[in-house]
A and B are shown apart, each in its own frame.
Chain A
Amino acid sequence: MIEFFKVLQFIVENGIIILTIFIFGSYTALAIFSAIAMLRYMRKNSFVDYNVLLSSPLAPSISIIAPAFNEGKTIVDNIRSLLSLHYNDFEVIIINDGSTDDSLDKVIKAYDLVTVNLLYEEKLKTKPIRAIYKSQNKAFSKLVVIDKENGGKADALNAGINLTQKEYISAIDVDSILVEDALLIMAKPFLEESGHKIIASGGVIRIANSCKIEDGHITEVRLPRNFLARIQVLEYTRAFLMGRMAWSKLNGLLLISGAFGMFNRDVVINCGGYNTDLVGEDMELIVRMRRYMAERKEKYRVIYIPDPLCWTEVPSKLKVLVRQRDRWTRGTMESLFKHFKLFFNPRYKSLGLLGHPYWFFLEWLAPIIEFIGIVYFIIIAILGYPNWPFFFLLLATVYLFAITLSFWAVLFEELSFHRYNKRREVVKMLFTSLLEPILFHPVVLFSTLRGNFKFFIGEKTWGKMERQGFEENGENEVKEVEGEHPESDESPKTVSK
């Protein structure tokens, strides 16, 4: 028995250290890959003139699909912003997912909509559609509005996919702000396919809290005044510029944010569309699409674009943040366990050998091991056995590594898109990164554990959340609202640390 505990102790203590080194190594490797990929992208991009697509008869057709639920405060402006995107052959399909507010009435009035009898094939099963609307005003001919019974974001997206006839679909959160050239930039990778089919592309999601917004466009980028939102700027920068860029290069990308992504319509339909039973439908779709291609031995790629194309609000209140992260964790777990067949399966190449195991160990398992480590240490501390110098040495290593990563992320941002122009903002970001491991990480860890707990007890709710809409004075935030609704349109945007 004693031998057993000795072995167990050895495994726990050394296991934690090995995992720490493994995590350090992985993040360092990802940062290096990202730096190389980013450098190449920036140089390559300096030669690209996206405007050639604007007038080209060879440009592909795109459908923007935007589900909306109780977006009455902002929906009219958001649709206007979508209709003003720079692209020629595109349509905007708004799906009113059984809103209980006045969203639909406002849209009908603002865009002069009338019901139409459109023929479409219900390739993906959805909740019943009540009506389809189009505008009588030719200026809004690209707009289609679907009014359907509430079925959640995935169900609404599927309804939009059923209606579209275009080659590519772009799924977005209706309250996100897209830059005017977003479709031009996002469409390019699909045109560059050579030997590999491009099945999806995703872009960076940037944080709009405190930014100045006029007529649905970001006119001045500002670092969020709210501390929690500011920490998320760092987190998103790290995840998008340092993580996903590398995963795209390794063809191991498992997630395209629900806030803005573009997909090959045929592949999405052949895969069965979005899964309506999950809270992490965006990640699961990508995993399923990749699996579908791999099983048919088709060469494919999922592309990631580092340009800041989409701006969105992030939670600035702790309670809302915890709910969001809890849901992201469940979303990740759903995809990982539902497609566990991929785990170290060489048949799926980079997906099975790299992407899935990485997410399994570093996104799902790492927080659990961290928790076990903390509990283990607390017990030792209570029993009076801790080796304090070693403990502090280990803590210093982990802390310094965490802030080094954040500093690298700030540097990436500085050398690439340089969106925060004021020197004060950079200093603030650096200072925030010093506090992040102490103040923010425990919250994320708690949310992750809560997500795990909820996953194992089988809870599938999204939680209550409503965006207050972008204010022109820059006071943008996601706020909690009263009243229970089965699902909100808030999209899980899992970001790797």
Chain B
Amino acid sequence: MTKGKISIKIFLAITGILLASFQVSAMDGTFIEFSNEAIISPVAESGESGSALAVGQETETRENLSLWQKFVTRYQQASLKVKILVGIVVYLIFSLTLLLLFILINRTIKTRERKQASNIKSIYQDELTNFLFGEEDQTFEFTGINHEINRDIFINELLSLHNNLFGEAANRLRDLYFNLELYKDSLRKVNYRNWSLKAKGFRELAQMDVKDANRNIAKYINSRNEMLRMESQQALVKLNEEDPLGFLDDLKYELTEWEQVNILDTLDYHQIYIESFDRWMTSENDSVVIFATRLAGHYKHIHSWPQVLNLLEHKNPKVRQFAIKTLDLLEVAENAGPLKEIYQQDQRLEEKDDDAFYNLNMDRNRLAAIEAMAAIATPADLPFLEQVLKTEKKFRILKRAVAITAGIKPGGPELLDQVFESADPELRKIIEITKQTAAQ
């Protein structure tokens, strides 16, 4: 009998027993014992007709009461369970009414606010455009700018326009920001308790280059709130001209990849040049080391090569991985030796450890080392590649090693022919397909 069939029989048997038991107990009248506060009728519970007189008197008294009084009397006599349920029902009706009103009123208010905001936005857009294309000595009035909400919309519009402009036009908007003393609004935001307003303040001040705010913002680079942390980092990259990444020295939290992406974007967008990232490659914060290494690769800092090379000895496999990738980007001919060493070292480490994630890092490092060999491999590297082809077990690494070997001339294709003879079926397949693809 299948497992499914046994299960359904048990299921049916339990259901049958339950149903049968209810029937038996119902016929027996035993249901009634617990029923005055449950689904079974309390009238049935009494089970006696002897109390008919009392019931009759009660009915007469009840008939003289108003509906509300009847309800109150019944409620007072009810059990705790009933009282709780009545309480819940009243609460739910009340909250439903409130919710309904809130949803409908909120919709009306939001629609109106949106319309108003959209109107004022388009007014400010027009006024700002007129300002930009108007005469420099002309006096401009901006509609309702003293109103707090309008002022905030105005700042948003000004910043949005500023973000899309360069040169003279951007400078004029910046001057306007200072002339209208909007920086005071931004500085005030930094002092708010609400983190989102604070972060908004950071953004505004950074975009408008309010250098005086530097110290205020720097306080938040180790904030527990990750958004404040990130916004302060971004602002400091922009505001701290002398040392845009100086905050990395003091960073206690992990610099997430998302933060790295944003900092790099700020550096690129504002064309901020940093001479060297070497100083952060010795940081105790591994994420800072990784970021500095990535930046060195991204900006092709050849002078950082020795420092990156040192990182191949780093205890954190992830740091080693990014160091290998940076070496790949730097494309220095002398990379070959260290890459071979790191490949062999991480192969040995993997053999010692059973941890799947640790081994995954080792695999990635070996793959990265082989990838990095692609641009610099010469016939002198063939013995190493032969060793890889004979000992490597990971498909992805083998596949890459075969491709690199096939590209080394002279000697590469010949080595593949030679390895093919003693290779296992998987490696044979890789060699065959690589050769076919190369022939195409």
Q: Is B21 an interface residue (CB 8 A)?
A: yes
Q: Which of B21, B33, B40 has the most CB of A within 10 A?
A: B40
Let me know if B82 and A388 touch, CB within 8 A: no
Q: Is B118 an interface residue (CB 8 A)?
A: no
Let me know if B22 and A119 touch, CB within 8 A: no
* Number of A-B residue pairs with CB-CB distance less than 8 Å in the complex they form: 200
**Min C-beta distance of B55 to chain A, whole Å:** 16
- A371-384 vs B, Cβ < 8 Å mask (1 yes, 0 no): 01001110110011
- A93-125 vs B, Cβ < 8 Å mask (1 yes, 0 no): 000000000000000000000000101010000
From A379, which residue of chain B is reached at the shortest CB distance?
Answer: B22
Let me know if B25 and A411 touch, CB within 8 A: no
Task: Tell me which residues across on chain B come within 8 A of A453, comparing CB atoms.
Answer: 8
Task: Tell me which residues across on chain B come within 8 A of A17, comparing CB atoms.
Answer: 81
From B106, which residue of chain A is reached at the shortest CB distance?
Answer: A414
Main secondary structure of the interface of B (DSSP, over half): helix
Task: Tell me which residues across on chain B come within 8 A of A393, comparing CB atoms.
Answer: 82, 85-86, 89
From A413, which residue of chain B is reached at the shortest CB distance?
Answer: B103
Instruction: Give CA–CA (A119, B23) in the complex, Å.
Output: 68
Q: Is A191 an interface residue (CB 8 A)?
A: yes
Which one, A10, A387, A418, contacts B41 given CB within 8 A? A387
Q: Is A141 an interface residue (CB 8 A)?
A: no
- Total residues of chain A contacting the partner, CB 8 A: 79
From B234, which residue of chain A is reached at the shortest CB distance?
Answer: A47
Q: Is A192 an interface residue (CB 8 A)?
A: yes
Task: Tell me which residues across on chain A come within 8 A of B195, comparing CB atoms.
Answer: 43
Instruction: Give CA–CA (A390, B209) in the complex, Å.
Output: 69
Q: Is A138 an interface residue (CB 8 A)?
A: no
Task: Tell me which residues across on chain A come within 8 A of B81, comparing CB atoms.
Answer: 17
**Min C-beta distance of A373 to chain B, whole Å:** 9
- B1-41 vs A, Cβ < 8 Å mask (1 yes, 0 no): 01111011001000100110111111010111111111111
Q: Is B391 an interface residue (CB 8 A)?
A: no
Q: Is B294 an interface residue (CB 8 A)?
A: yes
Instruction: Give CA–CA (A17, B5) in the complex, Å.
Output: 32
**Min C-beta distance of A226 to chain B, whole Å:** 23
Instruction: Give CA–CA (A254, B44) in the complex, Å.
Output: 47
Let me know if B39 and A391 touch, CB within 8 A: yes
Task: Tell me which residues across on chain A come within 8 A of B200, comparing CB atoms.
Answer: 47
Q: Is A344 an interface residue (CB 8 A)?
A: no
Instruction: Give CA–CA (A195, B92) in the complex, Å.
Output: 42
Let me know if B433 and A397 touch, CB within 8 A: no
Q: Is A59 an interface residue (CB 8 A)?
A: yes
Task: Tell me which residues across on chain B come within 8 A of A227, comparing CB atoms.
Answer: none
| Given A47-B227, A191-B257, A6-B33 contact (CB < 8 Å) | yes
Task: Tell me which residues across on chain B come within 8 A of A59, comparing CB atoms.
Answer: 261
Task: Tell me which residues across on chain B come within 8 A of A14, comparing CB atoms.
Answer: 38
Task: Tell me which residues across on chain A come within 8 A of B11, comparing CB atoms.
Answer: 452, 456
Sample (17) of A-B pairs whose CB atoms are under 8 Å apart: A53-B261, A57-B264, A60-B257, A121-B395, A165-B396, A191-B256, A192-B257, A194-B226, A380-B40, A391-B39, A397-B92, A407-B96, A407-B99, A411-B99, A414-B107, A423-B108, A456-B7
A→B interface (CB under 8 Å):
2, 4-6, 8-10, 12-14, 17, 24, 43-44, 46-47, 52-53, 55-60, 117, 119, 121, 165, 188, 190-195, 266, 270, 296, 298, 372, 375-377, 379-380, 383-388, 390-391, 393-394, 396-397, 400-401, 403-404, 407-408, 410-411, 414-415, 418, 423, 426-427, 430, 452-453, 455-459
Given A6-B25, A117-B436, 9 other A-B residues pairs in contact with their CB atoms under 8 A: A2-B25, A5-B30, A44-B196, A47-B230, A165-B396, A191-B256, A266-B360, A372-B18, A458-B3
For the complex of A and B, the 9 pairs showing the least CB-CB separation, nearest first, are A458-B4, A5-B25, A400-B92, A121-B395, A191-B257, A191-B258, A456-B8, A52-B265, A456-B7
